[in-house]
Structure 1
């Protein structure tokens, strides 16, 4: 890729990240191009669909969350690892307004550009949960898909105007129900 094309792509990703954080995943592609000071054709040449743009933006973050799970899996207590990682995951999803809908769709659609990253993310959470279950600090009737669904629910609630504080409080309540040792 030429240097100027690479610079345009990088600028598009930075601007798109800021616009999507502010306006949500339904932000106008034209608005993203305008704020990046490139034409819409340039945006579409790099990212022909909204999903391809989301995939480029989110894949890195999803991969970082997956790597974070692997890191905390071997450090600290199983309960601390699961709790801390879930907090990071919920914080990420609520920071990116509307991303939860894309995640839920992608996990069910193998042809989605985000599918592999979402599956890896769910598997990472499942490993942390299994570790906590093996240590007898988490309920055994909960699985990785349940954890992914809970994160999705908290992200959705956190996206609702005026419910951020409630989402944080309910996260602690629900986490207390998942963990057998109630100290979260």
Structure 2
């Protein structure tokens, strides 16, 4: 992003800036389509279908992501950043406890895409240890936003740190993280929220 920003600052022609904006829009569409395809089709998701779903040619996909591994890496980072950024949006429109509960359901959707990329993602995480820790940092930060808003609104307990909330959420996804277990996962999330909600509200 920093490099792209530098190029945009130095570009003398508006046309160049528009080209980069178009490229960014194409990338966003590709990554969104990839996440949906991996969640829907798992490892069977094809690059050709992803390009079609994104409304671009397969050549556009290969120019930006020459290998499947690069697409998986970018999709994982994109979806993690998107999920973390959702905290502020949800808190802005809902009471903090309801916002957190909504976000927890979105985590299940995020994991569906992650499962579809599992084989390639395991290799990427082995090769780049920082990738896993960055994910934990971002998601813990998002939970902390919900926790702080919830304690200020007196709807979430003050004595449970964000890391513990994320660990409990991970426990739910480990025991009921498959698509066919979605109803059970939602029930477990309700139980988790019951434990986080202040009894005196």
Of 96, 101, 105, 2:113 maps to: 96
Q: CA RMSD for the aligned pairs?
A: 4.1
- Counterpart for residue 170 of structure 2: 152
Between the aligned partners of 2:30 and 2:92, the Cα distance in structure 1 is 36
Query: Which has the larger share of helix?
Result: 2
Alignment of 1:55 onto 2:73: yes
Q: Which of 99, 102, 114 lines up with 1:81 in the alignment?
A: 99
SS in 1 for 2:158: coil
Paired position in structure 2 for 1:67: 85
How far 1:69 moved relative to its partner?
Answer: 1.0
Residue 46 of structure 2 corresponds to residue 32 of structure 1: yes
Gaps of 5+ in 1: none
Contact 2:112 2:179 in 1 (8 A): no
Q: Is the 1:157–1:164 contact (alpha carbons within 8 Å) kept by the matching residues of 2? A: no
Shift of 1:172: 0.6
Equivalent-residue separation in structure 2 for 1:71 and 1:161 (angstroms): 26
CA distance in 2, matches of 1:154, 1:50: 30
| Cα offset, 1:70, TM superposition | 1.4
Task: Mark the runs of 5 or more structure 2 residues left unpaired by the alignment.
Answer: 1-18, 52-56
Note if 1:168 corresponds to 2:186: yes
Are 2:40 and 1:22 equivalent residues in the alignment? yes
Q: Deviations over 1:78-99 (max 9, x none)?
A: 3223223323333x22442517
Change (3 A) 1:16 1:151: same
Once the two structures are TM-superposed, the CA of residue 126 in structure 1 deviates from its matched residue by 1.2
